[in-house]
Structure 1
């Protein structure tokens, strides 16, 4: 995941960029990449996280790394209202989401991604490949929603996959009344 974020940043050296991270946890992926970059100041990011302990840890990590442009919001990323003011984004991170929600919620979230994306945005996502492996269907749903696959990493012997898709469709306005997903406990 971090390698893909770094590659994405490297491909856009002169741009001011916006990032939104759903279910950001402690912010390790994005903060971990930005902390070591001299150009981190050009990225404005919103990390959405429901767990208060993770919110505190992500805020601490961002502050310790000197990343003043990272906002960590205590919010339910499964509700579209949580994205108001943070989208459209140039990069949408969906790490740890698609493996923790129902198939219907994965499909609904993918269909709603054009509401979160700016023109030409990139979505980086993760998903387990344990049975039943939903990654082939997920990749198809992304294509149907207007995304072009840039990379799919699913090494042999590892159940974890990382996908990178570029949005080639037309962004849609945010319908803040909608629900994307509910985590399965």
Structure 2
């Protein structure tokens, strides 16, 4: 099967919500995407279309973060969520969405991308817990990872805050 990666449009909202509802046991991820959009914190949402059927096979979202290094703001985003439709799993769609998103964000001048997830999976894309160490974040720990997007160069200086968009605080709440 072949897939086309493209920027999501308003016409994709229902399909994205259905994909997230099917991919995750709780509605938190769909609510997260909705709140990020409503709050104006969504930076990039990409979808993967199955070229044969036109069906939505996957999606990825990147949202604005407030990050400082040496007391200066650094353009940064958070990757979350990413989802692949059950019928399209294990075909490299998630990898393709991540690579495309990171490439587009780097070209737009984003310096750092953070993700909260499984180190073995995201480590394949260069994310590392070590890059995130030293940032003041409520998510700091073994699963908060970062990736420098400008030729792999980490901004020099003392790592400060890494604040996710307000919508992330609601992930543990009832929808």
Is the shorter-chain TM-score for this pair beyond 0.5, marking a shared fold?
Answer: no
More strand by share: 2
| TM-score of the two chains, using structure 2 as the length reference | 0.32
